[in-house]
């Protein structure tokens, strides 16, 4: 009995210690997120210092190495800047005439294209290099770039039948790194761990990753990668506390370096969603989204778009639960206030001592004042919660608008190249990325359902703003018409004609005509859109669903 009690106490002590450790790591990560601007400023200062060292009197060799360091700073930080630097490096390498430098620049260009999601061009560049001229450093760079290409390509496609093909290539190039990285190198443990990971030898991979971590700086890009890899090893073994710990360490490194091409933050957000820590998951996912937009990373934006609806949905459910709890608390507080009044009246009736009566009245007044303040605070919190909800719905719409706009711009660019008879490289990309009618209909259907869930009486209330003979009558089976859909976007705060035209796949002139038509049908033309903004939602009242006529 005594032995069992001691074991239970030790287990409890260990559990409390692990929880405390995780809380400290989350506190450090939250601090790093709050100080993102400081880390970005330091990063920009390092880049400026390198640029200031490039003067007209330095040699081409020195200039090449300085620009190469600038490229490394920007590779996982800012894609546009990295593209400009790699173009300069290409010119310098050609002027110097060293094959080693020319190879290195080509591999850098390929790595940047892979990170930016231009996989076919990245593969073509690497495949076109003559390996007979490679130095050991070239081989090392070459194998790592090829491995990164297939990792990102595989993650972007997420097509099951392609998984074995790409995974085999990732494994092959990871193993090739072991032939060019000496055991004395700090990175050797990372690549050996990758070898074991690819072979599903998780215990051996764990040992090598831990050896590497002990030798690496916590502010290095490799440290961010190896901690993330170790977290996935623990994930496969079901060791969730260790998975969480090392994924947080990876995210902290990403923020402090800083790296805008990162994975750890969105993985933590997904994990916290499963743990029902919705507020923190939402914060981290938005942070990951900001990084992906900052870098202009197609892969990370796609991954976040897949996670975003689930996190936002759970966040809204969480907020709804909080509001219900606040309502319950307010009811209880009101009942308590009534009881307090009854109790005060009872004391007043049964206590004839004036001094006691006065003390009771003072105490009662103080309690009522505090209750009133708490009710006011709760009311402000409810208003703030509603405001947050609308912000996130608007954010989701903004994300859709930006994504569709980029998508259509890509198609236009590709079609221009097809007209220039460059079909062999890009025609397949055009057909794979073309937005289909079924996708558009599905987008509209999902939007209509989501919007009417939030604003179930929108159709009836909007028709009340129009003349009786000019009201909108929906067709059978139709949730929203094009005019109503445009007005729905206005209700959500999307007023920009260009954004509305992008979301509804119409020209800006058509949207302008729709708006003019709606104003002409409105009873109050001047304040139509302002009146639309006052249409109530499901959180303010719960009427029956609108009837389609």
Least confident range from 131-140, 163-172, 209-218, 366-375: namely 366-375
Asked if the model's pLDDT at residue 224 lies above 90, the reply is: yes
Residue 277's pLDDT is what?
87
Report the mean per-residue pLDDT for the chain. 81
pLDDT of 541 reads 47
DSSP letters along 137-189, please? HHHHHHHHHHHHHHHHHHHHH--GGGHHHHHHHHHHHHHHHHHHS-TTSTHHH
pLDDT of residue 406: 67
Tokens of residue 55, six digits: 């003067």
Per-residue model confidence (pLDDT) at position 211: 96
468 in any annotated domain: yes
Q: Of 455, 438, 523, 525, which is closest to residue 489 (Cα–Cα)? A: 455
How many other C-beta atoms can be found within 10 angstroms of the C-beta atom of residue 459? 26
Do the Cβ atoms of 156 and 117 come closer than 8 Å? yes
Q: pLDDT > 70: what percent of the chain?
A: 78
pLDDT tens digit string along 171-215? 999 999 999 999 999 999 999 999 999 999 999 999 999 999 999
Domain that holds residue 416: 367-533
Beta bridge partners of 466: 522
Q: Other CB atoms closer than 10 Å to residue 28's CB: what's the count?
A: 16
Number of domains, the chain? 1
Closest CA to 332 of 371, 385, 367: 371
The radius of gyration computed from the CA coordinates of the chain, to the nearest angstrom, equals 30
* pLDDT attached to residue 290: 86
Separation between Cα atoms, residue 476 and residue 494, nearest integer Å = 28
Would 395 be classed as within a structural domain? yes
Dump pLDDT digits (tens) for 68-100: 999 999 988 888 899 999 999 999 999 999 999
Report the pLDDT averaged over residues 477-498: 87
Residue 472 lies in a domain: yes
Q: What is the 3-state secondary structure (H, E, C) of 392-407?
A: HHHHHHHHHHHHHHHH
377 within some domain: yes
Residue 434 lies in a domain: yes
pLDDT the model gives residue 542: 44
Contact call for residues 268 and 288 (beta carbons, < 8 A) = no
The CA-atom distances, in angstroms, between 53 and each of 46, 61, 67, 128, 257 are 11, 13, 10, 34, 22
Reduced DSSP (H G I as helix, E B as strand, rest coil) percent helix, strand, coil of the chain, to 5: 80, 0, 20
Q: What is the pLDDT of residue 546?
A: 43
How far is the first Cα of the chain from the last one, in angstroms, to the nearest whole number? 74
Strand partners, 511: none
Asked if 210 and 242 count as a contact pair (C-beta separation under 8 A), the reply is: no
Separation CA 161–CA 176 (nearest Å)? 25
- Report yes or no on 94 lying in a domain: no
């Amino acid at each position: 009995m005594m032995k069992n009690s001691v074991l239970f106490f030790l287990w409890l002590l260990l559990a409390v210690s692990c929880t405390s450790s995780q809380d400290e790591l989350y506190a450090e990560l939250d601090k790093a997120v709050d100080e993102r601007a400081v880390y970005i400023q330091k990063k920009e200062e390092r880049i400026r210092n390198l640029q200031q060292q490039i003067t007209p009197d330095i040699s081409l060799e020195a200039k090449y190495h300085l620009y190469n360091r600038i490229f490394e700073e920007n590779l996982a930080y800012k894609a546009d800047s990295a593209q400009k630097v790699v173009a300069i490096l290409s010119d310098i390498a050609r002027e110097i005439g060293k094959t080693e430098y020319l190879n290195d620049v080509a591999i850098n260009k390929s790595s940047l294209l892979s990170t930016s999601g231009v996989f076919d061009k990245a593969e073509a560049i690497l495949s076109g290099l003559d390996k007979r001229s490679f130095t050991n450093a070239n081989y090392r760079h070459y194998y790592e770039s090829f491995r990164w290409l297939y990792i990102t390509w595989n993650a972007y496609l997420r097509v099951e039948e392609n998984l074995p093909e790409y995974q085999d290539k990732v494994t092959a190039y990871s193993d090739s790194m072991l032939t060019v990285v000496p055991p004395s190198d700090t990175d050797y443990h990372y690549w050996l761990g990758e070898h074991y990971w690819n072979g599903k030898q998780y215990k051996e991979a764990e040992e090598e990753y831990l050896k590497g971590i002990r030798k690496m700086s916590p502010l290095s890009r490799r440290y961010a990668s190896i901690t993330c890899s170790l977290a996935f090893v623990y994930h496969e073994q079901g060791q969730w506390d260790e998975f969480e710990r090392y994924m947080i360490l990876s995210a902290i490194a990403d923020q402090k370096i800083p790296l805008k091409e990162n994975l750890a933050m969105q993985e933590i957000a997904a994990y916290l969603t499963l743990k029902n820590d919705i507020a923190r998951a939402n914060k981290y996912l938005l942070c990951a989204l900001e990084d992906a937009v900052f870098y202009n990373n197609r892969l990370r934006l796609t991954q976040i778009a897949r996670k975003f609806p689930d996190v936002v949905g759970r966040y809204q459910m969480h907020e709804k639960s909080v509001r219900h709890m606040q309502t319950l608390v307010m009811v209880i507080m009101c009942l308590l206030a009534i009881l307090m009044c009854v109790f005060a009246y009872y004391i007043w009736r049964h206590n004839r001592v004036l001094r006691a009566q006065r003390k009771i009245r003072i105490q009662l007044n103080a309690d009522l004042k505090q209750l009133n303040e708490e009710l006011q605070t709760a009311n402000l919190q409810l208003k703030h919660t509603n405001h947050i909800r609308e912000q996130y719905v608007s954010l989701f719409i903004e994300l859709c608008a930006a994504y569709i706009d980029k998508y259509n711009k890509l198609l236009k660019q590709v079609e221009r190249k097809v007209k220039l008879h460059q079909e062999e490289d890009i025609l397949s990309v055009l057909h794979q990325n073309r937005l289909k009618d079924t996708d558009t209909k599905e987008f509209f259907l999902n939007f209509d359902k989501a919007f009417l869930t939030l604003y179930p009486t929108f159709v009836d209330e909007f028709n009340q703003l129009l003349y009786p003979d000019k009201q909108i009558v929906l067709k059978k089976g139709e949730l929203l018409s094009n005019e109503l859909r445009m007005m729905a976007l206005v209700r959500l705060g999307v007023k920009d004609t260009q954004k509305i035209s992008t979301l509804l796949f119409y020209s800006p002139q058509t949207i302008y005509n729709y708006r003019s038509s709606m104003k002409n049908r409105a009873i109050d033309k001047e304040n139509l859109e302002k009146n639309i903004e006052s249409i109530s939602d499901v959180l303010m009242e719960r009427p029956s669903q609108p009837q389609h006529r």
